[in-house]
Amino acid sequence: WQATDLTMEIIDPMNGEVMVKVPDTQESEIKPFVERMKSCPRSGLHNPLKNPERYNVIGAACARAAEEMRKPDVQYFFARLIQRLTPKSWVQAKGEPTITRKFLENYSCDQVRFLARSFGVPGDHTGQTSTGIRMPFGGCGVVTPFNFPLEIPALQTMSAVFMGNQVTTKVDEKVQLCIEQFLRMMHHSGLPKTDVDLIYCKGPVMNKILVDGNARMTLFTGSQAIAEKLCQDLRGRVKLEDAGFDWKVLGADVDDVDYVAWQADQDAYAFSGQKCSAQSMLFVHENWNKAGIVEKLADLASKRNLDDLTIGPVMTWTTQRFLDHVEACLKIPGAKLAFGGKPLEGHSIPERYGAVQPTAVRVPIESLQDRAAFKTATIELFGPFQVIVDWKEGQLPLVLEMLNAMENHLTAGVVSNDIRFLNEVLGKTISGTTYAGLRAKTTAAPQQHWFGPSGDPRAGGIHTPEAIKLCWSSHREIIYDFGPVADGWVGVQS
């Protein structure tokens, strides 16, 4: 751990008071990080043929860390820290250490080496075998946002380490204290200190480290604009879990209306809508309108409050910017305010953050056929906002056209138990993590399934062995050919 010449003041999102000071690394101080990244061998810190004992060391560290995170005081510490850095309800806050602990349990002991499982194919003659193995990239980067200060950076950093990479991790400085505490716990649990460099800095400084350090792979979670910049600066050596403007379609079959309304409220407004998987556009079939789904949504949204943080500060949109976007959506022909659209009252949230009611604007699907209107309606507002689109029987082709015209394809939900309807929608869309069935959601991805976008060769994922191997290793083929050379062999030139 090293000090820096300058520090950054991190303010309390609930009252604007300075909460903590953290290092503010400048470009003049990045040389050790750059040299570490550049000096990591292309073959990594370990691979199936080099230092394989490290698979066991890291697996054992994960087992001990999971045991630590099972302790109630440790779980409380992380949940409370998350809640202080980026205010969310207690249920939302304590979910992160739970998923992180389960992830560590999943990759304890031999499970790390199982990620590097090889395969062999018989050759053309005696002594020849082709073998496929998983190789690391070397010096890599992890860059993650504010909204999940423990789960995303912890899981991606450890995933990179599993496969043999040396990692430099940067989290949004507002919340990075959380991953620092996690890394200290991992060191306590036996993770080698050679494996991860953690840096407090602003985005441009990290960008320079990645470029000057010739990062072999960088996992970026965050805004689409920065993702595209990194793709150019790093010459495509990236995996992205970038912006998510996520849709949900309610089919014609109506059932369990109260449950579906509750899930839609959770998807759109839990953690004030600040999830890349948050429900951004809800396509409501006319049958669900007759069942009063929008009215039930409005009632649920009205119960969210600052006291239990079921609504809270919007960390990346000011109140005025939020309200300006609502007004822009209301200018779409036929649009109307379904509920919300007003600032929160009686709070001390600083002006740099947003403080707004859960909001929905209702738009006829026909109006979204206008390109300008569609562009406005599909701007990702990282806050408690969604667009409700009304559609009728016979308009499914138009719905599908809208879904596929969206820029991002992270998560989606198809609420229906009609198998033919599900197959048609699922077969003609591409969202990487899609929930299907009456209980379909868009959020709350647990550790046991893939979470990531689709339809883009740069798409990265998290949680599963498939995600880890895709993001953090590459395939290498080794062909062993020991002989013997056949008796009487005669070489013929060709």
CB 229 within 8 A of CB 204: no
The residues that bridge with 241 in the sheet, in sequence order, are 221
Nearest to residue 347, comparing CAs of 411, 235, 272, 439? Answer: 272
Q: Is 198 helix (H, G, I), strand (E, B) or coil?
A: strand
Q: Provide the residue type at 62 as one letter.
A: C
Enumerate the active-site residues: 241, 276
Question: How far is Cα 164 from Cα 205, in angstroms, rounded to an integer?
Answer: 25
SS3 368: helix
Number of neighbours of residue 327 by Cβ within 10 angstroms = 12
Contact 473, 242 (CB under 8 A): no
> Rounded to the nearest 5°, which phi and psi values hold at 146?
-80, -25
Q: In the structure encoding, which two tokens stand for residue 422, read together?
A: 């599900």
**Three-state SS for 433?**
strand
Six-digit token pair at 321? 């910017």
- Rounded distance, CA 347 to CA 349, Å? 6
b/e per residue 94-129 (b: at least 16 CB within 10 A): bbbbbbbbbbbbebbeebbbebbeeeeeeeeeeeee
Nearest by Cα to 373 from 331, 325, 323, 403: 331
The answer to whether 13 and 353 are in contact (CB under 8 A) is: yes
